[in-house]
Structure 1
Amino acid sequence: MTTLGTQGRDAYGFVARDKGFFAEVGIEVDIQPGQAGDYNHQMIRSGQAQVTVVDAAGALVRYGSGRDTSFQILAAIHQQTLLSIVSLEASGITNAHALPGRTLATVKGAAPEVLFPAYARLAGIDASKVSWQYGSAPQLNSYLAAGRVDGIGIFLVGQPGVAAAAKRPVSALPYSEYLRDLFGGVVVAQKETITGNPDLLRRFVRALLRGAEYAVAHPEEAGRILAGAVKGQDARLAAEELRLMRPYVIPASGAPVGTMEEERVVRSVALLQSVGLLPGGANPELPRQVVDVDFAGSLR
């Protein structure tokens, strides 16, 4: 399952399928659109999906608060969070301090709202003075274009699609400006699946990460693959998203795509504790419990 709907940023799964990366390791894959963190986690917990991509911070909060400990994180698609608030340039929302008194929209239960209090606190604004409305992933662009809301909580790389829908220039406030240690999209699976068939998941994740690396290196081809696989997708917009996504996928350190260093996970947990999204003095073993660092290391 994808993170939230099916957009250019999700092309890597279709690339891995179309280029035969999954077939090379003996796997047939059905790719379904995700809806948001709550829904995706429920699909994994119930066994209706075997693997999904979710926002890393949302996953850490769910696990660390005890809401859902049925899963583990296996690898990172994005080395930094892609969460952002996208608005029309004409709205004048050029920094976080322009947000109080405004109305934002996102999918109910999605990471942009879950992580907004942390973003707001570190930016020095009052999160309670920002209102939220909810809609499905396909509705968000139309809400902004119609002026129903002042901004939408989506992934940073979604800007080209928003601008096309609104027929006006847009700007974005990336959460990574303040939440620097947080990973973005991460690959998760149910613990029982990891324990019961680790080789299958290892082959799957390697092929998926190969698709991610190929997609950001060949955005035009990846855009065409997505448009051919999913009705209504625009190959050009998909390519634009993938170009924006490339620096988030390729580790600046030169490490392999998908890398998750335990030290970064520890810092992510500490950050979420510092802004009150995880209880202080949380289980010191939490980073290793929620992220299967041994699995991630075995992918190299």
Structure 2
Amino acid sequence: MKRTLFLAAMAALVSATPALADMVNIRFTLGWKTQGSDAPFLLAAQKGYFAEEGLNVTIDQGEGSAATVTRIMGGAYDAGFGDINAIIQNAALRPDEAPVMVYQLWNRPPFAIVTPNDRGITTPADFEGRTLGGAQGTPTTRLFPVFAALNGIDLEAVEQQNMAPNLQEPMMIRGEIDGAFVFNITSWFNLIANRQDPENDYTWFLFEDYGMDLYSNGMMVSRRLLAENPDAVAGLVRAVNRATLEVARDQEAAMDAIMAFDNLVDRDIEHARLTFSLTNLMNAPEVAEIGMGDLVDDRLARSIAIVAEGYDLERLPEPSEIFDRAFLPPVAERLFEVVLN
């Protein structure tokens, strides 16, 4: 009887999944090394949601959320998890090659300036006469002049030091710099790793709170895939949307998928990072209205203008060059509700 049930279950699985020969191969790059915030993609792979859409998705670790764009433009990958602002930069110069965002995940940007409370920096004006450090070329560092202009900061009164990302928190802790240009989802956990209390002992100047109305990471696809196989793009979006809503409801299952992909990660830390991404980057008021995966075109247009100013872009891409919502399921199928566990 058990054998009969097993064979019946296998037959049902085979019938529900397209034959391997009919599967579309998709090469997918994450934004960085395996992290809790990668859960939607890894859960979709583990639970077979990609396979149910006729997709054979190979997932690799990344080299940075901006590098996702260049990896796709170079032809090594068909899709990936990366920063929409990097798409804007590349679309301004190479509009026919830059990838397109098709599912927005981080409605709120992680860009921030973090300072220890004991430095007495409580307003943006207090950055004057201080030293801030950051990695050259990152969005937080490159966009600081725009932040300064919007908030009345004399840029020449702020000393800026370039440094490797892994030196920012240690140098700040030692008092060698007064603050750092960071991604909050990264720096928060770097501080914890350095035995700091990021919630109580540090002040976070979030760009979104100071006139920098930016989006951030989501799923993007190559223009080639978009043109040659729109059905595959639609399948990717459906699978990731399905997994994203499950991740919001069940972080333990999400972490199981992450550990199955990379058993070397620290489960507790990455569980906390996943919770951070859900509550601080994804669960925005705007998402309650438009659903997960979408964005507001007027806000994207403002974002493009901010990025163009920060990166001295000569051409402002149109929002339609950056984001394509044509593959999104109906809003009712993208309603996002976080239940922490």
- What is the aligned partner in structure 2 of residue 17 from structure 1? 45
Asked if structure 2 preserves the Cα contact closer than 8 Å seen for 1:58 and 1:115, the reply is no
- What is the aligned partner in structure 2 of residue 105 from structure 1? 134
Distance change >3 Å, CA 5–CA 82, structure 1 → 2? same
Asked if structure 1 preserves the Cα contact closer than 8 Å seen for 2:108 and 2:284, the reply is no
Asked if structure 2 preserves the Cα contact closer than 8 Å seen for 1:160 and 1:237, the reply is no
- What is the aligned partner in structure 1 of residue 282 from structure 2? 249
Task: State the SS of the aligned residue for 2:85.
Answer: helix
Please report how far the alpha carbon of residue 91 of structure 1 lies from its aligned counterpart in structure 2 after TM superposition.
4.6
Aligned partners of 2:252 and 2:123: how far apart in 1?
A: 32
Aligned partners of 1:9 and 1:31: how far apart in 2?
A: 14
Superposed CA deviations along residues 188-213 of structure 1, whole A, max 9, x for unmatched, are 22211110111111111221233233
Aligned partners of 2:105 and 2:309: how far apart in 1?
A: 25
Superposed CA deviations along residues 227-278 of structure 1, whole A, max 9, x for unmatched, are 4432442222222222222243245233321012323322323444566744
Q: Is 17-26 or 138-147 further displaced after alignment?
A: 138-147
Asked if structure 1 preserves the Cα contact closer than 8 Å seen for 2:238 and 2:328, the reply is no
Superposed CA deviations along residues 19-67 of structure 1, whole A, max 9, x for unmatched, are 3322322323222222235532221111101112222223223323x15
**CA RMSD, 1 decimal:** 3.1
Distance change >3 Å, CA 205–CA 165, structure 1 → 2? same
Asked if structure 2 preserves the Cα contact closer than 8 Å seen for 1:223 and 1:234, the reply is no
Asked if structure 2 preserves the Cα contact closer than 8 Å seen for 1:75 and 1:259, the reply is yes
Distance change >3 Å, CA 67–CA 194, structure 1 → 2? closer
Distance change >3 Å, CA 61–CA 120, structure 1 → 2? farther
Distance change >3 Å, CA 39–CA 127, structure 1 → 2? farther
Distance change >3 Å, CA 26–CA 187, structure 1 → 2? same
TM-score by length of 1: 0.81
TM-score by length of 2: 0.73
2:85 to 36, 57, 60: 57
1:47 to 75, 78, 88: 75
- What is the aligned partner in structure 1 of residue 272 from structure 2? 240
Aligned partners of 1:132 and 1:6: how far apart in 2?
A: 29
Amino acid at match of 1:249: M
Please report how far the alpha carbon of residue 146 of structure 1 lies from its aligned counterpart in structure 2 after TM superposition.
6.1
Asked if structure 2 preserves the Cα contact closer than 8 Å seen for 1:261 and 1:293, the reply is no
Asked if structure 2 preserves the Cα contact closer than 8 Å seen for 1:79 and 1:183, the reply is yes
- What is the aligned partner in structure 1 of residue 196 from structure 2? 168
The higher radius of gyration belongs to 2
- What is the aligned partner in structure 1 of residue 246 from structure 2? 214
Distance change >3 Å, CA 115–CA 6, structure 1 → 2? farther
Aligned partners of 1:233 and 1:32: how far apart in 2?
A: 15
2:326 to 290, 294, 298: 294
Asked if structure 2 preserves the Cα contact closer than 8 Å seen for 1:34 and 1:40, the reply is yes
Q: Is 90-99 or 42-51 further displaced after alignment?
A: 90-99
Amino acid at match of 1:254: E
Distance change >3 Å, CA 104–CA 232, structure 1 → 2? farther
What are structure 1's unaligned runs of at least 5 residues?
none
Please report how far the alpha carbon of residue 139 of structure 1 lies from its aligned counterpart in structure 2 after TM superposition.
6.3
Amino acid at match of 1:268: S
Distance change >3 Å, CA 29–CA 166, structure 1 → 2? same
Q: How many residue pairs were aligned?
A: 294
Aligned partners of 1:116 and 1:249: how far apart in 2?
A: 23
Aligned partners of 2:322 and 2:51: how far apart in 1?
A: 29
Distance change >3 Å, CA 194–CA 240, structure 1 → 2? same
Asked if structure 2 preserves the Cα contact closer than 8 Å seen for 1:220 and 1:235, the reply is no
- What is the aligned partner in structure 2 of residue 260 from structure 1? 295
Superposed CA deviations along residues 132-177 of structure 1, whole A, max 9, x for unmatched, are 43436x6665565566655444432335422321101123221111
Distance change >3 Å, CA 132–CA 213, structure 1 → 2? farther
Asked if structure 2 preserves the Cα contact closer than 8 Å seen for 1:105 and 1:149, the reply is no
Residue 301 (structure 2) pairs with residue 269 (structure 1): no
Give the alignment of 1:138-217 within 5 angstroms.
149-170=177-198, 171=202, 172-217=204-249
- What is the aligned partner in structure 2 of residue 123 from structure 1? 151
Aligned partners of 1:32 and 1:47: how far apart in 2?
A: 14
Task: State the SS of the aligned residue for 2:208.
Answer: helix
What are structure 2's unaligned runs of at least 5 residues?
1-28, 334-341
Amino acid at match of 2:289: G
